[in-house]
Each structure stands twice: as structure tokens, then as C-alpha cells.
């Protein structure tokens, strides 16, 4: 006996799942919010503090729909209307990946910037070392986050099966 499978896409699958088990979306949304808050807290603990703690305190999780124009850590657009994202100050990428040595004059590392530096304008910035604190924490927590969301979906399905 041969099995046949049809690939319908994530949207169609979730629509069908919601028809069969209406509480799945509610439980999954709650699980995503809780996982996002835990991830933000874990990243905050690993984040570089600096003198003011301002950057560290700016890291938070929220639904992407609540902040459509605010900068997020990931630039990829989410298809899920209840997706939760991580938000931080714009300097996150400089801290996460570091910076190369560069001239602070207008034009920076370009030919114009180097010429300005030779003429006495601007100063040479030595660059900063990478201080990875977002992606290592996310990679470590991803299995736990996925397990939590899967458990929430299963809870919704189990409830629908009992009715």
C-alpha cells in the first residue's frame, strides 16, 4: 500500500488545523510570547553592559504586529500574524559582529575618507571585537522554544479530540 502526501503550504495547513482544533492558535500564541520573553531575558543576561546599561535594558520581545516600523534583530518578514520578535537598539549588530578599523571622517573607509585622514581630518577608530550575545543564546534555546510551541499545539489538538 502506497502512501500519498500533498504539500499544501504552511498557511493552508494552519488554516485546516484551526478548523479542526480552534484553540491551537490561542495556545501557540501564548507559548510564543512566553518563549520570546524568556529568550529576551536570557539575551539580556549575556549582553554587554557598558557604563549605562541602556543597551542591555533595550532588549525585549514583542509581537511583530505591535511594532511594524521599529527595528528588529531579524530583517526577514514574518508570514505568521502572531510571530514574536526580538527588539533592541540599533547598535546590536555592531556589538554582535564587531567592527573593522575605520576612519571617523565623513566617508569612513572610502578613498575620500582615507584622503581626509591623510590631510589631518578625522581619527582612526581601532574597531571593536565581536561580543556575540544574541545568536549563541538563541541557538542554545531554540530546541526548548520549539518544544514549547509543539506542546502548545498538541494541547489544542488533544482538547479538540476530546470534544
Between 24-46 and 135-162, two packed helices, what is the crossing angle to 10 degrees?
160
Tell me the mean pLDDT in the region 120-127: 75
Distance in angstroms (rounded) separating the CA atoms of residues 85 and 74: 8
Distance in angstroms (rounded) separating the CA atoms of residues 2 and 4: 7
pLDDT tens-digit series, residues 129-154: 999 999 999 999 999 999 999 999 89
159 vs 80, more confident: 159
pLDDT at 107 over 70: no
Furthest C-alpha separation in the chain: 80
Instruction: Specify the pLDDT at position 66.
Output: 87
Instruction: Specify the pLDDT at position 116.
Output: 66
| Residue 124: pLDDT band with limits 50, 70, 90 | confident
| Residue 160: pLDDT band with limits 50, 70, 90 | confident
**What proportion of the chain, given as a percentage, has pLDDT over 70?**
81
Instruction: Please calculate the CA angle 40-18-68 and round it to the nearest 5 degrees.
Output: 40
Average pLDDT, the chain: 83
Determine which helix (DSSP H) or strand (DSSP E) holds 158, and give its type and residue range. helix 135-162
At 119 the three-state DSSP class reads coil
Tell me the mean pLDDT in the region 81-85: 86
pLDDT at 54 over 80: yes
Whether the Cβ atoms of residue 103 and residue 113 lie closer than 8 Å to each other: yes
Amino acid at each position: 500500500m502506497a502512501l500519498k502526501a500533498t504539500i499544501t503550504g504552511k498557511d493552508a495547513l494552519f488554516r485546516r488545523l484551526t478548523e479542526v482544533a480552534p484553540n491551537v492558535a490561542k495556545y501557540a500564541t501564548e507559548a510564543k510570547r512566553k518563549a520570546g520573553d524568556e529568550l529576551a531575558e536570557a539575551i539580556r543576561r549575556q549582553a554587554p553592559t557598558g557604563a549605562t546599561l541602556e543597551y542591555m535594558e533595550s532588549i525585549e520581545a514583542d509581537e511583530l504586529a505591535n511594532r511594524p516600523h521599529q527595528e528588529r534583530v531579524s530583517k526577514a518578514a514574518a508570514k505568521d500574524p502572531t510571530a514574536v520578535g526580538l527588539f533592541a537598539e540599533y547598535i546590536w549588530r555592531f556589538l554582535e559582529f564587531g567592527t573593522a578599523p575605520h576612519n571617523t571622517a565623513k566617508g569612513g573607509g572610502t578613498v575620500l575618507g582615507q584622503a581626509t585622514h591623510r590631510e589631518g581630518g578625522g581619527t582612526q577608530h581601532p574597531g571593536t571585537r565581536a561580543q556575540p550575545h544574541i545568536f549563541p543564546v538563541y541557538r542554545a534555546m531554540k530546541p526548548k522554544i520549539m518544544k514549547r510551541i509543539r506542546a502548545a499545539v498538541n494541547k489544542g489538538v488533544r482538547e479538540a479530540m476530546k470534544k
